[in-house]
Amino acid sequence: MQDILEQIIATKHEELALLKAKKTSLREALLQSETGIIAEFKRRSPSKGWIKQEGRADIIPLSYQQNGAAALSILTDEHYFGGSDDFIRQARQRGVTLPILYKNFVIDEAQLYAAALCGASAVLLIAACLTKQECNMLLNKAHSLGLEVLLEMHSEPELEYAELEPDLCGINNRNLGSFVTDVENSFRLAELLPKDAVKVSESGISNPDTVKALRQAGFRGFLIGENFMKTADPGPALNEFISQL
């Protein structure tokens, strides 16, 4: 029986190796992209309620891919954002091959396992939710599971988290306490980040000219969700946005 058990364990190691190998790099996708747009599948928000309650994860993410997104972000928080881990599975099953960011409020390593198993390429870690020690532990665990980390910061004091050397440094333009959004936050904090950081501006981006200005300020990624999701057809809306860049 031990021989059979050894075979099973060996097979499991092979399956895990394949699981990790399938991960596409969010960092590399943004560095190689001319637009850097991370199109987000977001059905709901705590401040605005339902944005697209009928939005389907087996349709919109693939449409984003077909219409020029550099990468995707999929909200998986159920209670506040109407999301689900299964949305990433559905997107993958329909043929999405772009890097997918697991967008949630990650506070425990169990969520990292969930992200890896549902097909995410990277996870969001939010400085405001974690001590620096907790963030470092989760970052290292994510890497061990083959996941990249987008570390989100909002204020100048939080920029010290960038010392943990995440794969990508995000600046959230939305205050998660008040939900007030100000894109100027990205411009203010960009020059304070490490020079070699791959910078991502998150939230409140609705104008192609803003993307152009942010790129000149050193950003390589631009996370945009609500601007597309509130339209009748998010994929073509993304395509039109890109055509104006």
- Catalytic: 152? yes
For residue 22, what pLDDT is reported? 60
For residue 167, what pLDDT is reported? 98
Q: State the catalytic residue, choosing from 23, 52, 121, 152.
A: 152
> What string of pLDDT tens digits covers the 245 residues of the chain?
568 989 999 888 887 766 665 678 999 999 999 999 999 999 999 888 999 999 999 999 999 999 999 999 999 999 999 999 999 999 999 999 999 999 999 999 999 999 999 999 999 999 999 999 999 999 999 999 999 999 999 999 999 999 999 999 999 998 777 677 889 999 999 999 999 999 999 999 999 999 999 999 999 999 999 999 999 999 999 999 999 99
Radius of gyration in angstroms for the set of CA atoms belonging to the chain, rounded to a whole number: 18
- Structure tokens that stand for 144 in this block: 């061990």
Q: What are the backbone dihedrals phi and psi of residue 72, each rounded to the nearest 5 degrees, phi first?
A: -125, 155
- Catalytic: 230? no
Q: State the catalytic residue, choosing from 73, 121, 173, 202.
A: 202
> Helix 2-21 crosses helix 109-118 at what angle (to 10 degrees)?
80
Task: Evaluate whether the domain defined by 24-243 bears CATH number 3.20.20.70.
Answer: yes
Q: State the catalytic residue, choosing from 63, 103, 148, 199.
A: 103
